[in-house]
Amino acid sequence: MMRLSLLLSAMSLLATQPALAQDEAAPELSRGAALVAANSFAMDRDGDVWSGAGVARLSSDMDDARYLLIAEPHNMRDVNAFTGWAYNHFSREAGVNRLVIEQDPVLVSQLEAMAEVLDRDTFFGFAAQNYFSLHFFTDSELDLIYDVARSDMGGLPNLWGVDRALGVMPSLKVMAEITEDGAEAALVSEALDMAAAHNGAIDILSDPQGAPQRRFMTQDNAQFDAILEKLAASEQVELAKLAKTLMISRSNIRDYEIDHGGAAWGYSNNAEREELMKHNLSQHLAGDGDMRSKAIVKMGGWHVSNGHSPNRLSTLGNAMDGLATLEGSDAVFMTILAVNRPGVSYSITDNDDYDIFDSVADPDATVLVDLRALRDDLYAGNIKVEPSVSKMIYGYDYALLVGGLSAGGYDRLFTIASQGLQ
C-alpha cells in the first residue's frame, strides 16, 4: 500500500512540475526521483525465481533483442542466481542460447566439457585444480557455469569466454593435443614442464585467493617467451593462434600486475584487453555457422556499458550493440545495484550520488528501473545527478536494484578441494 501511495505521489509531482517550492534544495533531483518512481517495476522473488511486472517489462524487450548485457558487481551470489534464472527463462521464452562470461575462452571450453560428463562435486574438484586460471571462482559462479553447460542446446557450446587467459596451462594442454609437428610438440612439452613445475607449488587451500604474483603467467621467463614466439610462427593455424593469444594475455596480465593503477595500466593495458575481448567474441561468432546466437552477457560494468568505459575505451558492450543494430536487432543493457540495510554490506543507499533511487530502494525487494525514461530530461537539464549516475543513465537501459545482495562464498569449493576430489 505504501508503494502505491509513493507511486501516486510521484505521478502527481510529475504532473505539477515545475511548480516546486522555492526553498527546495534541489528541485531537479526531486523530478528525477519522481521519474525513477514512475518508471519502476516490481520483481517478485521466490528463492532464485523472479516474476512480476519487472519480468514482463524485460521480456517485452527480449523478444526482439539479440543480447542482454548484465553489468555485475563481481562475486555476488544473487547476481549469479539472477543470471542463471534469466538464461533459463529467456532460453524458453526468447530463444537465448549463449552465456558470455568474463573468463578465458579456452578454459571455459574445458569447463563446459567437464560439466557435461561429471557430477557437480567432481566438476568443483576440476575447478579447484585450475582455480588460478579462473577470473572468478565462487561457488555460485561455478554453479552457474555447471548448470548452463548442462542445458540442452543441441550439442553446440552454451558458454563463451571472452577475456584474457590468467593461466597458461589450459592453452598449453590444448596445444599439446593438437600439435602435428614433432619439433613443435617438443617445444610445447618443454613449456608445459616449466609451467607445471611452477604451478605445482600453488594450491587453493594454501593460497585461497590465487595471488596473481604467484601465477606462472606473471613470471619473467625469457625461455618460455621464446617458445611462444616460435609456436606463434607455426604453419599450423590453430596452434599459432593459441600461442599468439597466450602471448597477448601474458603480456597484458604482467603489465596489469606490475603497473596496476599507473598510466600504462589505466589506458593502454585496458585497451589491449578490451580489443582482445572483441577479437575473442568475433571468433565465437564466426564458429556459429548457420546458428544465430542470442546471448546473455555477464561481465563487469567497465566492459558492458553502451559507450565508453571509465578509462575512455569503447567497450565490448558498445561493439555488441553495433552488431545488433547492423542486423536490425537490439541489445539491452542492465546494471545491477546493491541495496542493503546499514552496516550489512555495501549499498547504494550509503552513497548520496545515488539518492535519485532512494524512493524505490528497498533491502527486502527487487526493483527494475527503466533508465531510458530519464534521458530526455537529463539531457535537457531538468534533472541533475552526479557524473557517474549520468553515465549510468545513458549507458544502461535498466538498473536492477537487488535488495539483500550478498557476496558469493567458497565453502563448497574449499571443502571439495580439501577432500582431494579429482
Highest mean pLDDT, choosing among 181-185, 203-207, 405-409: 181-185
Question: Which residue reads 593459441 in cell numbers?
Answer: 242
Judge whether residue 264 has pLDDT over 80.
Answer: no
Instruction: Output the pLDDT for position 8.
Output: 37
Distance CA 148, CA 337 (A): 24
Dmax over CA atoms of the chain, in Å, equals 82
Judge whether residue 259 has pLDDT over 50.
Answer: yes
Q: What would the grid cell of residue 362 be?
A: 528497498
Q: Which distant-in-sequence residues (6+ apart) come within 8 Å of 206 by Cβ?
A: none
CA distance readout (Å), 331 to 70, 73, 313, 324: 11, 20, 19, 6
Q: Which helix (DSSP H) or strand (DSSP E) does residue 2 occupy?
A: helix 2-16
Per-residue confidence band for 261, with pLDDT thresholds at 50, 70 and 90? low
Q: Which helix (DSSP H) or strand (DSSP E) does residue 408 occupy?
A: none
Lowest mean pLDDT among 55-59, 124-128, 187-191, 265-269: 265-269
* Nearest alpha-carbon partner for 129 in 409, 411, 417, 408: 417
- Per-residue model confidence as pLDDT tens digits over 77-118: 999 999 999 999 999 999 999 999 999 999 999 999 999 999
Question: Which residue reads 533531483 in cell numbers?
Answer: 29
